[in-house]
Amino acid sequence: MRCDGLFLAGLAQRIPAAVDVDGAVDDGRYDPADRKADAYASVAVADDEAPPEMAAAAARLALRRAEIPPSDVALLLHASAWFQGVDYWPAASFVHREVLGEDGRRAPALDVQQMCAGALGALELAASYLAADASRASALVTTADRFTGPGFDRWRGDVRGIVYGDGAAAAVLARGGFARLLAVSTVVDTALEGMYRGDEPFAAAPGRPVDVRARRAAFAAHARRLAGSLAERTTSGLSEAVGRTLDEAGLGLADVSRFAFPNVGLHVLRTRYAEPLGLDVERTTWEWGRRTGHVGAADQLTGLTHLVETGQAGPGDRVLLVGIGAGFAWTCAAVEITERPGWGG
């Protein structure tokens, strides 16, 4: 989807204090070989804040930075990958009440469940929502997660090469702002949805600890029936989503200054993301991501926020945000910084 007349007007993040990964190695929670391959320095750990609380804090700051009143927000989308603190409850409605309140009575509050591609998927939905009606002034996208026990082991819950951090991010999409949204698009391959389901039977209620390694092993045992290997299919989805977005934005890879990928470990980032696209890791937000861990669907927005806050991305720079979520979905967004906001570096 090529986007005309839509901008990022405000960005913000809520990242809790970081915990050094060496402590997890010392007490046996994190494998030393994984630590060496991943090269994470720390991960963010939220002790006191639930995900919706972090999302609301990020959203309030993003709106202040955008200088947009809550009454101008026509849509609120909240993305998440894991438990939000209460069962059978819409987290988006909490964020809406905390941030928009009575001023947002005509702004729907909807949860987006596309795992770690959720925030960028929400951005695509928000862009479509604004494009459909010129009277809609702006949209608010939030995302937040906290990966904690007993249900989730941040160090071993997913495959090797991914350690999870906690935090939140928010973005305000509007008719004017500091960064032009050039294009956003999604590619899906639901033949791979079983990769994060495995052989687990459908349960009547939540409560089982997450063990993605076992699920993926079970899926791989039956994946021979698929056309192409798992690595080939995931690489193909990534390349197609990136190529499609760049084409719609009228850009080539050489025109992009920085790339914000999921905050996976260094070996996975290099071999599964950067090298297939012919990129150097130095062009990514890895130096930021290695200090937070993989914060669910927030990595791309926190990475872009960090680039703008520190002045590493300024007027004329193009940034490609690349999201990958179980299911499987790849969503990419191309943005061009048009001016340095007052809160920028």
Tokens of 48: 């006191």
Q: Could you tell me the maximum CA-CA distance found in the chain, to the nearest angstrom?
A: 56
Q: Which two tokens stand for residue 57?
A: 């804090």
- How far apart are alpha carbons 182 and 338 in whole angstroms? 11
Identify the pLDDT of residue 222.
75
The half-sphere exposure of 267 on its side-chain side, counting CA atoms within 13 A, is 12
Total residues belonging to the chain? 345
pLDDT tens digit sequence for 65-113 = 999 999 999 999 999 999 999 999 999 999 999 999 999 999 999 999 9
* Residue 19 structure tokens: 């915990």
Rg for the chain, CA atoms, rounded: 19
In angstroms, rounded to a whole number, what is the distance separating the alpha carbons of residues 257 and 12?
21
pLDDT band at 281 (very low <50, low <70, confident <90, very high): very high
* Relative orientation angle of helices 91-99 and 51-66, to the nearest 10 degrees: 40
Residue 116 CB-density burial (10 A; 0-12 exposed, 13-18 middle, 19+ buried): buried
pLDDT attached to residue 228: 62
What confidence tier does 236 reach under pLDDT thresholds 50, 70, 90? Answer: confident
**How confident is the model at residue 227, as a pLDDT?**
60
Rounded Cα distance, 4 and 180, in Å: 9
Pick the range with the lowest mean pLDDT from 73-82, 135-144, 227-236, 286-295.
Answer: 227-236
SS3 content of the chain, % helix, strand, coil (to 5): 40, 20, 40
Q: How confident is the model at residue 221 (pLDDT cuts 50, 70, 90)?
A: confident
For 153-209, where are the alpha helices, taking DSSP H only? none
Q: What domains are defined for the chain?
A: 7-182 (3.40.47.10), 183-337 (3.40.47.10)
Say how far apart CA 211 and CA 193 lie, in whole Å: 15
Q: Which helix (H) or strand (E) holds 288?
A: helix 286-289
